Structure 1
Amino acid sequence: MFISDIKRVVEQVSRDKGIDREVLIKALEDALKSAARKKFGSNIDIEVKYNEESGEIEVFQFKEVVENIAEPDLQISLEEAYKLDPESKIGDSLGTKMDASTFGRIAAQSAKQVIIQKMKDAERNAVYSGFIDRKGEIINGIVQRVDRVDIIVNLGHTEGILPEREQVPKEVYRRGDRVRAQILDVLHDSRGPQIILSRTHPNFLVSLFKTEVPEISEGIVSIMAAAREPGIRAKIAVASNDSDIDPVGACVGMKGSRVQNVVQELRGEKIDIVSWHIDPAKFVCNALAPAEISRVIIDEENRLIDVIVPDEFLSIAIGKKGQNVRLASKLTKWHLDVINETKYSQAMQDGYDSLVALPGVSISLADALYSKGFFSAEEISNSSLEDLLQIRGITEEKAINLLKTAKEYLANSDSFDEVSNEILSDNTLSDDDTSKSKESSVSDNQGNLNIDIEKDKGNDEDTFIDAPLTDLEKNSNK
């Protein structure tokens, strides 16, 4: 045989590389079949079998038993067949064992290359099969090298990739450092399997809490949602299936021991743990903690919530650079407008004044409209005839006139604003005036911060819990 001690090679490679023994044997059989066909032609009928007893791979060539031979490679005479098998008859397919040494050096070398490639493929498939079902798990590894901006991590039998986008900002890794990450994805391409790791995904945060909080792994406490700004701050919403167990307290632990272990793993990332609630208004209030909330106004159609807070809590609700309200939006999956009470009151007063200013609208009618949720002339212009007819005392004729009046009022107001803007744009401001204008603009914006998560161009996988956190989806759908 052109490879000595096949049995030993199979056993050793199977053990060292973690490749199924049958896969290796099949690779060797295919390699020898390829070598035989290179030597004798692709039209020959051969069969390759591994002999368990002898530890060799045997090759048999099959030929048809005929009276007169027309194709020597495919046929054998009845006379020759009798010598091999006395029971042979015309039309039988008779197999004869081939001498592998007759394949030649080139054929043997070709077979060796096929074997090597098959072993590589088998090893890659084994790695892929071993990791594809582990997506979402936390894994430990050692930094092997830094490839430009990506970090290559030694995972034992294979390597993992920690891409730049999945690295926590400001974290620095050197060769030999231990790293803990989540298996984000397992890709299978021509270069072999690629194990994509992540330290920034919200699921990594959730998995860390699962390891630290027994109540989560036991199913008593569930993490319903999570949002992160990796390396800076994160929020998780938790709920309990047992009324006797406080989900927030369970995650915090005695003297904060549990949450601190997670914070240390994330290199100081601050973590807010809030109670989840099925009522979006209450959930948003919890998510914006520690800010005090005066009231919330929900627009389900546009998935928008206006959050009104006392003036002194505006900066707390917004957070540093909008961080608190931004994370709350990601956590609750609602667009949030945070407004202080002063600005909200002024806006409501302006809206009421616009109702009173409509021709033909008395104070009593304005009060009736206001009490039914029509807080401004703009809201009336955007409403339907059917909406207005729901108000007691308003006939169809009055409703039509009211809609017409509101639209004309707004059109005139827009025209006035355009003229005012043209006048302002025609005047050249001095440096002092420019400075005053900028200050006024800042002052106007201090009372309101709009966070629209659809306009936040961050990665959706870094914003919301996805497929891998199946327990979150199940709980959210309850």
Structure 2
Amino acid sequence: MKLTELFAALADIAREKDIEYAVLLDAIRLGILAAYKKTYHANANIDVIVDDSQKKIQIIAKKIVVDSVEDGSMEISLKDAKKISPDAEIGDAVEIEATPPDFGRFAASTCKQIIMQRLKEAEKDKVIKEYSDKEKDMVFGEVSRVAGENVYFNLGKAEGLLPKQEQIPGEPYTPGRKFHCFVLRVDRSTREPLIILSRTHPNLLAKLMELEIPEIMQGVIEIIGIVREPGVRAKVAVHSNQSRVDPVGSCIGSKGVRINVISDELKGERIDVLRWFEDPRLFVASSLSPAKVYSVQIFQNEKRAVVAVSSDQFSLAIGKKGSNVRLASRLTGYKIDMKVMED
């Protein structure tokens, strides 16, 4: 391949693969320099000039002008130096072209290897940037394989990893099934970028609600807080920025149609949507939904709430294996002590 053809090919590759042409030329320069030193066993002060304007690649050796040459690879006599640069003096550095006769073929072969490596690096960089922009966001992917306790997803341009601790307990991850996942981070340490996913993160529920409930996406309804026991139960505190919009009813939808779609996406996780209140007494009472609360006492210094309910509401307020009161406590930030209302 002629050097003119090589430069034209480099320009085409840079354009098609969205790589900066200057970056590609610099990679070529460094790659040829390393390959030249290795092939020709050059230990001198060698540099490579990649001249795009003249479509030339040259090997340049820098030698020090001396009276008596002891090391021909590093030094040049004053007499020979003046043939190159008439103003040369002892101690000057003179640049000498050291391009070998068969350099065109050598350069073309070396460039091919460098280009292949640079394309791989560029593709990796693009994937890292794309999914770095999606960190803390939701993606949709297909289970490609299961290896031990880890589940791997085909995300299109990259592979996603759903570790054991980020899986919903008991959820079947068979190859071919598709799921929404939350992007925790991009692992750059592996040979290929690996996208670390979660099915248990509270923000996965938030993103699913944004997807299914237009009022949240539009900012009419805000999600103030979310807590989950993945695959079992979740509580979501919501607030409306418009008095005429019921935040709880809008999230649940007619006959539960909206929230049921989201629940099905999370292995049937029960989702309690409740109204957020600035007043901690009202918020604690709301957080224990669907139980009806009689009274709430707040002990602010202890971040503790004492809640009284009727005897027929006590088990509902506690929930199965304590899940309702436990989630309410996490959502509100108060330790909740339950008691039966005295007659």
TM beyond 0.5 = yes
Distance 1:242 1:194 in 2: 42
- Shift in alpha-carbon separation, 1:188–1:14, aligned structure 2, 3 A: farther
The answer to whether the 8 A contact 2:238-2:247 is kept is yes
**Superposition CA RMSD, Å:** 3.5
Report what 1:159 is aligned to. 159
Deviation digits for residues 127-161 of structure 1 (CA, Å, limit 9, x no counterpart): 32332232111112222211111111122222111
> Are positions 1:89 and 2:88 aligned together?
yes
Distance 1:254 1:244 in 2: 17
The answer to whether the 8 A contact 1:78-1:88 is kept is no
The answer to whether the 8 A contact 1:14-1:24 is kept is no
Distance 1:288 1:243 in 2: 23
Report what 2:32 is aligned to. 32
| Deviation of 1:200 (Å) | 0.9
1:109-148 correspondence to structure 2 within 5 Å: 120-148=120-148
Report what 1:334 is aligned to. 334
1:60-75 correspondence to structure 2 within 5 Å: 60-64=60-64, 69-75=69-75
Query: TM-score normalized by structure 1?
Result: 0.62
| Deviation of 1:92 (Å) | 5.5
Deviation digits for residues 283-315 of structure 1 (CA, Å, limit 9, x no counterpart): 111110121112112222221111111111001
Q: What letter is aligned with 2:34?
A: S
> Are positions 1:293 and 2:296 aligned together?
no
Report what 1:227 is aligned to. 227
Report what 1:277 is aligned to. 277
SS in 1 for 2:172: coil
Distance 1:195 1:41 in 2: 42
Structure with larger RCO (C-alpha < 8 A, sep 6+): 1
- Shift in alpha-carbon separation, 1:14–1:24, aligned structure 2, 3 A: farther
The answer to whether the 8 A contact 1:142-1:154 is kept is yes
SS in 1 for 2:193: strand
> Are positions 1:174 and 2:174 aligned together?
yes
| Deviation of 1:111 (Å) | 8.8
Report what 1:207 is aligned to. 207
Distance 1:167 1:55 in 2: 56
- Shift in alpha-carbon separation, 1:65–1:12, aligned structure 2, 3 A: same
- Shift in alpha-carbon separation, 1:13–1:111, aligned structure 2, 3 A: closer
Q: What letter is aligned with 1:37?
A: K
| Deviation of 1:50 (Å) | 3.9
Report what 1:448 is aligned to. none
- Shift in alpha-carbon separation, 1:149–1:45, aligned structure 2, 3 A: same
Report what 1:98 is aligned to. 99
The answer to whether the 8 A contact 1:39-1:103 is kept is no
SS in 1 for 2:301: coil
Segments of 5+ residues of structure 2 without an aligned counterpart are none
Q: What letter is aligned with 1:98?
A: T
SS in 2 for 1:89: coil
| Deviation of 1:330 (Å) | 1.6
- Shift in alpha-carbon separation, 1:243–1:335, aligned structure 2, 3 A: same
- Shift in alpha-carbon separation, 1:7–1:151, aligned structure 2, 3 A: farther
- Shift in alpha-carbon separation, 1:304–1:177, aligned structure 2, 3 A: same
The answer to whether the 8 A contact 1:35-1:108 is kept is no
Segments of 5+ residues of structure 1 without an aligned counterpart are 346-478
Distance 2:282 2:68 in 1: 93
- Shift in alpha-carbon separation, 1:129–1:2, aligned structure 2, 3 A: farther
Higher mean C-alpha displacement, 311-320 vs 258-267: 258-267
Structure (1/2) with the larger helix percentage:
1
| Deviation of 1:70 (Å) | 4.6
Paired residues, number: 340
- Shift in alpha-carbon separation, 1:305–1:55, aligned structure 2, 3 A: farther
SS in 2 for 1:189: coil
> Are positions 1:257 and 2:296 aligned together?
no
Deviation digits for residues 294-351 of structure 1 (CA, Å, limit 9, x no counterpart): 2112222221111111111001101111111111112112211111124xx8xxxxxx
Distance 1:221 1:77 in 2: 82
Q: What letter is aligned with 1:99?
A: P
- Shift in alpha-carbon separation, 1:115–1:5, aligned structure 2, 3 A: closer
Deviation digits for residues 52-110 of structure 1 (CA, Å, limit 9, x no counterpart): 4677754333334566545432344555556556x6533354252523846999x9999
Report what 2:9 is aligned to. 8
> Are positions 1:196 and 2:196 aligned together?
yes
Distance 2:217 2:9 in 1: 44
SS in 1 for 2:195: strand
Question: Among the aligned pairs, what percent are the same residue?
Answer: 36
Q: What letter is aligned with 2:95?
A: L
SS in 2 for 1:306: strand
Q: What letter is aligned with 1:178?
A: K
Distance 1:108 1:169 in 2: 55
Distance 1:268 1:44 in 2: 70
Q: What letter is aligned with 2:340?
A: N
SS in 2 for 1:301: helix
| Deviation of 1:45 (Å) | 2.7
Report what 1:267 is aligned to. 267
- Shift in alpha-carbon separation, 1:336–1:6, aligned structure 2, 3 A: farther
Distance 1:176 1:19 in 2: 34
- Shift in alpha-carbon separation, 1:175–1:23, aligned structure 2, 3 A: farther
Higher mean C-alpha displacement, 223-232 vs 175-184: 175-184
